[in-house]
């Protein structure tokens, strides 16, 4: 595991003297000092706008910004990397930049019931605008995708949008098979890897993913930045959807021409300090053995799930070998919202609610869960303290 | 702001408790004292929108006196209804109107009351105050 001392925030207390036990990593992760320091140093030493000016600072800022892109290109083995504000903007970029250029009335796209709202709503908006058919792959009682229904949904589909790893269940979908079958039927594939990318190295070219959307803040980086990786073939089909500075080649009053590289999709001053911070986070992650960390965290999640079940909780998720360390649960004797407040009262940060995945929760027949999600700095001792607190809350407040 | 003795007393009790868990225990006790709005009377009109739990609150004004009834599946939410009730129930409209959002801050049970955050209590308070203003 990484050294929790690398993360300044983890040494604080909450509500008096309770040590912070941060288990809301699927929402956002904490930042190591190297990320905070890199952003601080950028503003103190290098701050300038990128790509245009010839002065020294502009050159340094441009190099720093593009270094983030280069790092991501290597990390994901991607052909093209567009920096966005996060996963949501990355998916919207596919909807508006690729969808509007390629999809026409009567075309079909395939989504799943496991998607985050950010991979549903942009498509519903586009479907309404363009008369596109949206097909949804159901989630089975074992909390996996109905792959037979998926295969059947592919006929005539132009795009498949699927969450790599569920933010509610931690279930990692069989993306290799999903991509293979989609491509066999002529459909492109967008992977929402907001939850998957923090837990494993994803090789988009090896996988054949046409688009992959990621958020920095879920993998130790700053908020406000993410990326969309794009295959060259898909990139060539796209049209910019946001116009402005930096994305143009030439502007006259009669019309404009656009850049031909990724800048075409990065109108306006980009998130430069955030890119610097994300690069620092990726360098930090590069020194971590993600495979062994994944097994360690999964072990903690499995133990936690088992303990919660023994306390009478229902745990949503299966914690298979490739799933992420997310434990969503409910107890019949206490409402999820009460649970979260009472955990917070002793310093345990968890998430409750629908986790922006209402169709999935509807399929599961519930409207919220309590979710504990573990990441690189979490320890078995924290999980034990968490389970002890859950047991205490149930004994004192459960019905 | 301190409009009723009962509300002042309970807020003073909250302020004397250092441990947050114990504050929730007191809030849960208040949940038991809310005049119940039975689920069959839960409607879209009296639903507290933006609340993670199912919560409904109804205001009735008879002869200038405010009557609050509520129900929620989360005890914290019902406890917050109890807090509002202590300041408003059985009071004149003018007195009830003087109850402000500060009561929750004084009780020290919520981390944020900013409007941008999904916050059931603020919505609940706005629903009740809105009806009192119209009265």
Q: Where do the domains of chain A lie? A: 4-23+289-397, 35-286
Q: Do A345 and B24 touch (CB under 8 A)?
A: yes
Model confidence band, residue B113 (pLDDT cutoffs 50, 70, 90): low
- In the set B26, B31, B48, B51, the catalytic residue is B51
What does the alpha-carbon distance between residue B124 and residue A34 come to, in Å, rounded to a whole number?
43
Which chain B residue's Cα is nearest to A393?
B21
Contact A167, A116 (CB under 8 A): yes
Please report the pLDDT score of residue A399 as a whole number. 84
Which chain B residue's Cα is nearest to A355?
B52
Please report the pLDDT score of residue A392 as a whole number. 97
What's the fold here for domain A4-23+289-397?
3.90.1150
Model confidence band, residue B117 (pLDDT cutoffs 50, 70, 90): low
- Using alpha carbons only, what angle is made at residue A278 by residues A277 and A281, rounded to the nearest 5 degrees? 90
Residue with the larger pLDDT of the pair A88 and B50: A88
Chain centroid to CA B44: 18
Question: What φ, ψ does residue A114 adopt, rounded to 5°?
Answer: -90, 0
Q: Do A341 and B28 touch (CB under 8 A)?
A: no
- Rounded to the nearest 10 degrees, the angle between the axes of helix B5-16 and helix B75-88 is 140
Mean pLDDT, each 10-residue run in order, chain A (399 residues): 96 95 98 98 96 91 97 98 97 97 96 93 94 96 96 97 94 97 98 97 97 98 98 96 83 85 92 98 97 97 98 95 96 94 96 87 89 98 98 94
SS3 A332: coil
* CATH 3.40.640.10 correct for A35-286: yes
Q: Do B77 and A337 touch (CB under 8 A)?
A: yes
pLDDT of B51 over the 90 cut: no
At A22, which helix (H) or strand (E)? strand A21-22
- Rounded to the nearest 10 degrees, the angle between the axes of helix B20-32 and helix A336-344 is 150
All residues of chain A having their beta carbon less than 8 Å from the beta carbon of residue B24 are: 341-342, 345, 397
Which chain B residue's Cα is nearest to A397?
B25
pLDDT of B115 over the 70 cut: no
Looking from the CA of A230 toward its CB, the CA atoms found within 13 Å total 26
Give residue limits of the domains in chain B. Answer: 5-134
- In the set A68, A227, A313, A356, the catalytic residue is A356
All residues of chain B having their beta carbon less than 8 Å from the beta carbon of residue A355 are: none
Nearest CB partner across the interface for B74, out of A15, A335, A346: A335
- Rounded to the nearest 10 degrees, the angle between the axes of helix A272-286 and helix A56-76 is 40
| Token pair recorded at residue A100 | 């509007």
pLDDT of B116 over the 60 cut: no
Nearest by Cα to A191 from A96, A265, A268, A114:
A114
Nearest CB partner across the interface for B24, out of A335, A342, A352: A342
Contact A160, A109 (CB under 8 A): yes
Q: B123 an active-site residue?
A: no
Q: Kindly report the CATH number that applies to the domain delimited by B5-134.
A: 3.90.1010.10
pLDDT of B2 over the 60 cut: no
């Amino acid at each position: 595991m990484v050294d929790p001392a690398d993360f300044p925030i983890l040494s604080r207390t909450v509500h008096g003297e309770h040590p912070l036990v941060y288990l809301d990593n699927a929402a956002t992760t904490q930042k190591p000092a190297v990320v905070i320091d890199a952003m601080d140093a950028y503003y103190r030493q290098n701050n300038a706008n990128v790509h245009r000016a010839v002065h020294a600072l502009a050159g340094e800022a441009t190099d720093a910004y593009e270094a983030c892109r280069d790092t991501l290109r290597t990390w994901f083995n991607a052909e093209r990397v567009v920096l966005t504000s996060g996963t949501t903007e990355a998916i919207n970029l596919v909807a508006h930049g690729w969808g509007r250029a390629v999809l026409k009335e009567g075309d079909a796209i395939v989504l799943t019931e496991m998607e985050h709202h950010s991979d549903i709503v942009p498509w519903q908006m586009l479907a309404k605008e363009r008369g596109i058919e949206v097909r949804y792959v159901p989630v089975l009682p074992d909390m996996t995708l109905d792959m037979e229904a998926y295969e059947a949904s592919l006929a005539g589909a132009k795009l498949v949008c699927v969450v790599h790893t569920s933010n509610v269940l931690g279930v990692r979908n069989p993306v290799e098979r999903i991509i293979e079958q989609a491509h066999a039927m002529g459909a492109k594939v967008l992977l929402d890897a907001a939850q998957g990318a923090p837990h494993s190295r994803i090789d988009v070219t090896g996988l054949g993913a046409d688009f992959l959307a990621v958020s920095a803040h879920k993998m130790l980086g700053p908020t406000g930045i993410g990326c969309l990786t794009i295959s060259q073939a898909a990139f060539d089909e796209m049209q910019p959807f946001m116009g402005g500075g930096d994305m143009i080649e030439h502007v006259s009053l009669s019309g404009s021409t656009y850049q031909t590289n990724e800048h075409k999709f990065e109108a306006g001053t980009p998130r430069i300090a955030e890119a610097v911070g994300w690069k620092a986070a990726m360098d930090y992650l590069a020194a971590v053995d993600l495979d062994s960390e994944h097994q360690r965290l999964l072990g903690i999640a499995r133990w936690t799930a088992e303990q919660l079940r023994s306390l009478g909780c229902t745990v949503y998720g299966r914690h298979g070998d490739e799933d992420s360390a997310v434990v969503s649960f409910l107890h019949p004797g206490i409402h999820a919202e009460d649970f979260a407040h009472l955990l917070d009262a002793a310093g345990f940060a968890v998430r409750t609610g629908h986790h922006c995945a209402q169709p999935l929760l509807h399929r599961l027949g519930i409207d919220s869960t309590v979710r504990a999600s573990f990441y690189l700095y979490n320890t078995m001792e924290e999980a034990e303290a968490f389970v002890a607190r859950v047991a205490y809350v149930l004994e004192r407040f459960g019905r | 702001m301190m409009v009723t003795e009962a509300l002042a007393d309970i807020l003073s009790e909250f302020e004397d408790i250092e441990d947050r868990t114990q504050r929730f225990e007191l809030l849960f006790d208040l949940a038991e004292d809310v005049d119940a709005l039975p689920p069959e009377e839960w409607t879209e009109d009296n639903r507290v929108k933006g609340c993670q739990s199912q919560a409904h609150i109804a205001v009735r004004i008879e002869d200038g006196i405010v009557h609050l009834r509520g129900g929620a599946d989360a005890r914290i939410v019902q406890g917050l209804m109890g807090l509002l009730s202590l300041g408003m129930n059985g009071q004149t409209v003018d007195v009830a109107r003087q109850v402000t959002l500060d009561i929750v801050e004084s009780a020290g049970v919520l981390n944020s009351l900013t409007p941008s955050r999904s916050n059931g209590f603020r919505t609940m308070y706005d629903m009740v105050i809105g009806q009192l203003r119209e009265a």
